[in-house]
Each structure stands twice: as C-alpha cells, then as structure tokens.
Amino acid sequence: MKETATMKLQALRKEMRITQAQAAEWIGCPLRTYQKWEQGIATPPGWNLKLIIEKLEKYKEKQMDAQKIAEKLRNGDQWDMDLLKELCDLAGLSDEWKDADGDTFETVAYKAADILGVEIV
C-alpha cells in the first residue's frame, strides 16, 4: 500500500503525541487546513508536503530535547532556572524569558512546556 500524504502527516503527529492544533500551530497553518489534510479532503502540494514533514520532524527533535529537560525538572527539588531558560529557548520564547520577572517566569515556563508538549511538574 502506498503511503499517502494523509498517512504520513497523521503517523508523524501521532508518533510525536501532539494534537492536530499543536501540529498546525507549529507548521504555521490554520487548524482547519491541517485537519483537511489529515482527513484527505485536501492535500498540500508535493513540495509543500516535504517542507511540512521536515518542520514536524524538526519539532519532533525539539520535543525529544524538551522531554529530557522536563524529566530533569520533574526530578529536581526546585526549579532549575538554567533548564527553564533552555526549555524556553527551544520553544522560541527567549525574549519572553528575558522579560520575565519573579511573578511571570513560571507562566513563561508553562507556556514553553505547552508549546513543546511536555509536562514539567
């Protein structure tokens, strides 16, 4: 059986354990468009599909790195600010992390964890 674009996208997303909304957000397309691709209602052009899959695979690598960081954070007795910064950097929230203060750093860290699909507590 030939693997279709639908099958590739769906398999990669499920392997990564992310929602359709997270996949759509990461590749920068509307959720409904992504859902249509997975349902086979619409198909991205071949060259675009390759870029989409590359983006999801890059996200998968970041997610694996984030899982390692999250595990260290969960196993620690207190927040490790260097690990939290690294997590925020992976999620593309470097500027938000720099601007965070004692009242907001936790919010930024949870946002980074959500973007990367990891649990930090």
pLDDT in tens, 19-36: 899 889 888 899 999 999
Q: What is the pLDDT of residue 106?
A: 92
| pLDDT 10s digits, 46-96 | 778 888 888 888 888 888 999 999 999 999 888 899 999 999 999 999 999
Does residue 100 lie in a domain region?
yes
Which position has the token pair 């860290």? 109
Domain annotation covers residue 9: yes
What are the structure tokens assigned to 20, written together? 């359709």
Q: What is the distance between the alpha carbons of residues 79 and 107, in angstroms, rounded to a whole number?
A: 13
Residue 103 lies in a domain: yes
Q: Does the residue 121 lie in any domain?
A: no
pTM of the predicted structure, to 2 decimals: 0.70
Answer yes or no: is 96 within a domain. yes
In the chain, the number of structural domains is 1
Residue 57 within any structural domain of the chain:
yes
Task: Kindly state the helix (H) or strand (E) to which residue 75 belongs, with its residue range.
Answer: helix 46-75
DSSP symbol at 86: H
| Long-range pairs, 23-28, Cβ under 8 A, ≥24 | 23/56, 25/115, 26/55, 26/56, 26/59, 27/52, 27/55, 27/56
